[in-house]
């Protein structure tokens, strides 16, 4: 993939007629791993703007005590920052101690004074350790100071169950972030969308949280060669269909697509909407799809109460009530922590079969 020089901010998503970019899509590209697309985007943005720097635990993998050379022992959590410290140095790939509140606060201070920090919070669960800095400083500074300042801060972390990380390393509480005025939240679902959304997040002048579901990180998919951005707040269709709408976000978009493929085998034509952004979010695409299919299932790995699934359901009830032929259904995690045991953990997460079962019940087949 190319780096820096050109970095055109082309909106690939709005190309007419494009549902899912992939082989056949007329830009140069190739199949890449999600983690590599992520790493390449960080590299692009570090090249693009000297004010961009990355901060987080283990991102440059420790230091040799004698030479003080960074070791890049792990390539960062989930190899997100692999190789970056060699090319950009430890000032721009800044290893932080285990002080999430402290270094997120410092990142807000750096953003307020002119830099564009990118923070790796490792596991999504660690958001709560830094929540005050996110809520009270990152998200509110612009408003409470009357628009004097902006906070061009990007944060990312890994969410989701399915990897045996248990209760404190598997959260998907998107709504705890989307609830905050002043903060934006994006949830890419494949290598293509993480590339475009991460670039857009880093270039955005507001604080943006990008959530990486752990189940996506080793997945492979098409990604254009050249750097591009995807507009924040826009969803996309992963599949067009006429019988029912499946709404996914992050990894549940993959679940929805798998469910739609299974349903197709049984003659049920499902439309799949991939939200991509949770704050702001694309009300139009949900309403448009529901007005066409008249039925909707929202699939969210988060726990059910006060979740994004609940929010989308409320929007549909408000704006597409007259078009509904069935109650809005949600497929979510249970109101429990994420269990360790593989069987229990699998039961926690929405599976394609759960979505298929819900759809069939709704359609009475």
Active site (catalytic) residues: 100, 169
Output the smallest distance, CB 343 to another protein, in A: 38
Three-class DSSP category at 115 = coil
4-12, 96-104, 161-169, 298-306 -> range binding another protein (CB under 8 A): 96-104
* 1 touches another protein by CB under 8 A: no
In the list 15, 87, 205, 325, the residue contacting another protein (rule: CB under 8 A) is 205
* 356 touches another protein by CB under 8 A: no
71-79, 99-107, 214-222, 295-303 -> range binding another protein (CB under 8 A): 99-107
Asked whether 132 and 293 are in contact (CB, 8 A), the reply is no
* 111 touches another protein by CB under 8 A: yes
* 166 touches another protein by CB under 8 A: no
Distance CA 58, CA 45 (A): 20
Sole residue written with tokens 């009830």: 317
70-78, 108-116, 248-256, 321-329 -> range binding another protein (CB under 8 A): 108-116
Q: Give the residue with the Cβ less far from another protein, 147 or 343.
A: 147
Q: Tell me the residue ranges of DSSP E strands in the chain.
A: 29-33, 52-56, 93-95, 116-123, 154-159, 184-186, 208-213, 220-224, 236-239, 244-248, 270-274, 277-279, 296-300, 329-332
- By CB under 8 A, the residues from 269 to 298 that bind another protein are 279-281, 283
Residues in the chain: 365
Asked whether 174 and 211 are in contact (CB, 8 A), the reply is yes
Interface mask (CB under 8 A) for another protein, residues 126-165, using x and -?
------xx--xx---xxxxxxxxxx---------------
Distance CA 287, CA 318 (A): 10
* 182 touches another protein by CB under 8 A: yes
Distance CA 153, CA 201 (A): 8
Output the smallest distance, CB 141 to another protein, in A: 7
Output the smallest distance, CB 106 to another protein, in A: 4
Which two structure tokens, joined as six digits, stand for 109? 């201070």
Query: Cβ contacts of residue 47 below 8 Å, gap of 6+?
Result: 3, 4, 7
Sole residue written with tokens 């002043």: 182
Report how many residues bind another protein under the rule CB under 8 A: 47
Half-sphere exposure of 88 (CA within 13 A, CB side): 28
In the list 82, 184, 236, 239, the residue contacting another protein (rule: CB under 8 A) is 184
Distance CA 28, CA 41 (A): 16
In the list 12, 104, 155, 263, the residue contacting another protein (rule: CB under 8 A) is 104
**Residues forming the site for another protein (CB under 8 A):** 53, 91, 96-97, 99, 101-115, 132-133, 136-137, 141-150, 181-182, 184, 204-206, 232-234, 279-281, 283
């Amino acid at each position: 993939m190319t780096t820096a020089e050109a970095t055109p901010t082309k909106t690939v998503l709005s190309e007419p007629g494009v549902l899912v970019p992939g082989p056949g899509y007329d830009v140069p590209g190739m199949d890449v791993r999600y983690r590599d697309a992520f790493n390449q985007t960080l590299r692009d943005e570090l090249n693009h703007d000297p004010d961009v720097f990355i901060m987080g635990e283990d991102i440059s993998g420790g230091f040799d005590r004698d030479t003080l050379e960074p070791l890049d022992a792990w390539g960062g959590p989930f190899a997100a920052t692999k190789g970056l410290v060699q090319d950009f140095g430890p000032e721009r790939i800044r290893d932080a101690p285990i002080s999430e509140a402290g270094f997120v606060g410092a990142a807000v201070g750096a953003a307020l004074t002119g830099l564009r920090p990118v923070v790796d919070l490792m596991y999504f669960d660690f958001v709560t350790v830094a929540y005050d800095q996110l809520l009270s400083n990152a998200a509110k500074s612009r408003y409470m100071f009357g628009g004097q300042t902006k906070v061009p801060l990007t944060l990312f972390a890994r969410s989701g169950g399915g990897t045996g990380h248990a209760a404190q390393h598997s959260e998907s509480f998107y709504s705890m972030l989307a609830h905050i005025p002043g903060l934006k939240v994006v949830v890419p679902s494949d290598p293509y969308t993480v590339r475009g959304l991460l670039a857009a997040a880093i270039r955005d002048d507001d604080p943006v949280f990008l959530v990486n579901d752990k189940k996506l990180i080793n997945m492979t998919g098409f990604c254009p060669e050249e750097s591009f951005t995807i507009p924040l707040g826009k969803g996309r269709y992963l599949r067009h269909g006429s019988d029912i709408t499946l709404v996914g976000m992050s990894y549940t978009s993959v679940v929805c697509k798998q469910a739609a493929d299974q349903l197709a085998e049984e003659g049920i034509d499902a439309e799949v909407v991939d939200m991509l952004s949770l704050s702001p979010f694309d009300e139009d695409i949900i309403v448009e799809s529901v007005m066409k299919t008249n039925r909707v299932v929202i699939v969210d790995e988060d726990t059910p109460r006060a979740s994004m699934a609940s929010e989308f359901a409320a929007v549909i009830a408000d704006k597409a009530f007259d078009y509904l032929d069935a109650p809005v259904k949600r497929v979510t995690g249970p109101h429990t922590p994420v269990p360790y045991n593989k069987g229990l953990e699998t039961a926690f997460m929405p599976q394609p079969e759960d979505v298929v079962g819900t759809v069939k019940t709704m359609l009475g087949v």
